[in-house]
Amino acid sequence: MFSNSVKRLFSNSLIFSIGTLGTKVIGFLMVPFYTYFLTQGQFGIVDLISTTVAMLTPVVTLSVFEAIFRFTMDKNFSNKILFSNGLAITAFGSILSLIGGGIAQISGYKYGVLLAILLILSVVSCFLQYFVRGIGHVKLFAATGIVGTSLSAILNIMLIWYFKLGVNGYLYGMAGAQLGTFVLIVAVVKPWQYVDLTLVSKKNALMLLRYSVPMIPNAFAWWFTNDANRFFILFFLGTSANGIYAVANKIPSILTIFFTVFNQAWQISAVDEYESQNNSAFYSMIFNNLIHFSFLGMAGLLLILKPLMHVLVAPNFYSAWEFVPFLMLAMIFSNLSGFLGSTYIAAKMTSKLFSTTIYGMLTNIAFNAALIPLIGLNGAGLGSALGFLVVMIIRLKQTKAFVSINVKWIPLTIHLLITALMYATLHLQNNMIMFILLAIFFIISLVLAGKDVFIFLKRRHAK
């Protein structure tokens, strides 16, 4: 029944995987380098700056890139109108960023101007990437990811290792990578052909902003739900603890690598299938299989977690393994919530996204404030997991108004039980017994997912 839809989803996932997987794998392989040449405090600083740039990007652009992507997919709007008005809004936000960075620098924050430059490069690159993705240049989109991350890795090795620039070297590398992405897109797409200042108008800008503005508080609240625990960690535990937390977060990011690839393709399928008669069944099938794949991936990572940490990080960061399981659980619920968020985008109901994210943010804040002083870094992971679980449940209830997604709760509950057992097993002192038990739990998880995964793959190959 869903043969063509599933094939299209897999095809798009394959295309997007080229850029995203290349980007994430290179970044993941750089973790040992960073942990050897940066102290825990330095790693905590660069992680905080990177997080700040990511948080401010949708704010200073009014999330207009979200509207650019969504409206270019409709094919009912002139690309010149979309690009010209989106560029004007992006330019205005960039000017404000530079002014704000200058004020911060004068006020005594030594990274003020550099942070502003990173932010400007980020918003421009983001705008261009969303545009080229929307108009169908998927190969270019894939290439920008690989080129940007490769440049970042090369520059960071030179600046941190050879020139001994530490935090500044890392930030210069980020700037160089964003600049490289910008140059590549400009060289290939020649975006000036889409610029017509006579098309910039209040009417056209408002058309975009009516869609994108509700995404601003949602983006900020989503970031806060995802990353605000870093500030609680800094307040209660210090920069070194934030460095440990940043390293621990690199393992769950493996799950996000695959979800990011999938979600880029899913956003297209969600829009394509939204008007179909079988949208509820299709959305439900994909969501339940996403649950299986996510927890199966988590079980596989927990199976090899300790050996993996020995290989990837310096000895003084090895203790980060203790905090990985809760962070992976948080990442899974974050991804599942993100999947449901695409449903709001398909329905063009972006204003309703914000309320669901707010509930998750408040839950996250409350649990972080309560748990971090009590159980340390694990409180941050557990608080995030609970926050995203709240978002997922609320979105499941809300989306029934336009797409009813039927969740298989029993398999989800069993997956959660297996996760708890694997977490407890990781604390055993006998490595042989620990590995055997972890392998058994992984096999159970594999068998649990097997039936639905088989049906999913069978539908993929259906004629």
Co-location of 251 and 375 in the same domain: yes
Residues 324-359 have pLDDT tens digits of 999 999 999 999 999 998 888 888 788 788 888 888
Co-location of 361 and 234 in the same domain: yes
Co-location of 120 and 102 in the same domain: yes
Co-location of 195 and 224 in the same domain: no
What is the rounded distance in angstroms from the CA atom of residue 57 to the CA atom of residue 218? 13
Co-location of 12 and 86 in the same domain: no
Kindly report the pTM of this predicted structure.
0.76
Phi, psi dihedral angles at 107 (to 5 degrees): -80, -5
Confidence of residue 463 (pLDDT cuts 50, 70, 90): very low
What is the rounded distance in angstroms from the CA atom of residue 259 to the CA atom of residue 256? 5
- Determine if residue 314 is left, alpha or beta; phi over 0 gives left, psi from -120 to 50 gives alpha, anything else beta: beta
- pLDDT attached to residue 450: 81
Report percent pLDDT > 90 for the chain: 47
- Of 163, 195, 211, the last residue of a domain is 211
Assigned domain for 54 exists:
no
pLDDT of 459 > 70? The answer is: no
Co-location of 179 and 230 in the same domain: no
Q: Which domain holds residue 123?
A: 64-211
Co-location of 366 and 350 in the same domain: yes
Residues 250-308 have pLDDT tens digits of 888 878 878 888 888 888 788 778 878 788 988 998 999 999 999 999 999 999 999 99
- Of 151, 182, 211, the last residue of a domain is 211
Residues 371-385 have pLDDT tens digits of 999 998 899 899 889
Number of domains the chain contains: 2
Co-location of 348 and 217 in the same domain: yes
- Of 162, 191, 211, the last residue of a domain is 211
15 Cβ partners below 8 Å, 6+ apart?
A: 138, 139, 142, 265
Co-location of 267 and 291 in the same domain: yes
The label of the residue with tokens 């199976």 reads 303
Co-location of 205 and 217 in the same domain: no
